[in-house]
Amino acid sequence: MILSVFDVNGKSLENIDVDEAVFGINPHDAAEHQVLTAQLAARRSGTHSTKTRGEVRGSTRKLYGQKGRGMARAGSSRSPTRRGGGAAFGPKPRNYSQKVPKNIRRLAIRSALSRRVAEEKLTVISELGLQDVPSTKHVAGLLNNIGIDDSVLIVTGNPDLIARKSARNIDGVELIHADTLSVVQMRQSRNILLTVDAVRRCETLWGAPQSNQEQEKESTDA
């Protein structure tokens, strides 16, 4: 599969061959939805808590006799039906995390990347071209040259503090490195901008694992 590579001025430099198993599969909606739901659920703290009738303050004495009053039966003043009583089915602290098989997580990443390629919303650049000093103006100009005027997720091959400082003040722009790429981030941004290093890192992380025969062949050649 071939993708075009652009420079910081928005000019096409070359075409690179990328792994079709990562950038060219048919999008898998079910896998993306499962992983997206799990990642959003994992963000919940789950610290919500209410008091039951056994935890609220108050006496357990029966309010009045069972019969002869002409009123409905009543027990404790801590009953959920009474003002100041405990919650009947209120939330308690819980863990919202969901287990997702590793192969489904990998499939969801490949599906999300392939979806952006099919929609022509994934762009590859040679490098960000930043110097030793952060420059928000440089990143803004880079996006303008490439023609990205909407929300964008910039992905680098390795952690880059200077690049992150350069992009953090631009509205709708998020910068991460390939190892932390997630389905939630890709679905929240309308465009994805990858460096060539990020493309190769994605192929290493999410590409099809080598068979034992291929690994033995590489070790023999080495």
With a cut of 70, say whether residue 20 has pLDDT above it. Answer: yes
With a cut of 80, say whether residue 219 has pLDDT above it. Answer: no
With a cut of 70, say whether residue 33 has pLDDT above it. Answer: yes
With a cut of 80, say whether residue 217 has pLDDT above it. Answer: no
> Which pLDDT band holds residue 220 (cuts at 50, 70, 90)?
low
| Residues 6 or more apart in contact with residue 114 via CB below 8 angstroms | 22, 23, 24, 25, 26, 27
pTM: 0.81
- Per-residue pLDDT of 132-143, as tens digits, reads 899 999 999 999
* Angstrom distance (rounded) from CA 128 to CA 157: 11
> Which pLDDT band holds residue 191 (cuts at 50, 70, 90)?
very high
User: Is the dihedral angle over the CA atoms 149, 152, 158, 159 positive or is it negative?
Assistant: positive
Neighbouring CB atoms inside 10 A of 201's CB total 20
* Angstrom distance (rounded) from CA 14 to CA 4: 6
Per-chain mean pLDDT for the chain? 90
Buried b (16+ CB within 10 A) or exposed e, 63-96: eeeeeeeeeeeeebbbbeeeeebbeeeeeeeeee
pLDDT of residue 213: 47
User: Is the dihedral angle over the CA atoms 15, 16, 22, 26 positive or is it negative?
Assistant: positive
Structure-token match 């930043």, residue found: 130
- Per-residue pLDDT of 66-97, as tens digits, reads 999 999 999 999 999 999 999 999 999 999 99
What is 2-26+101-221's CATH number? 3.40.1370.10
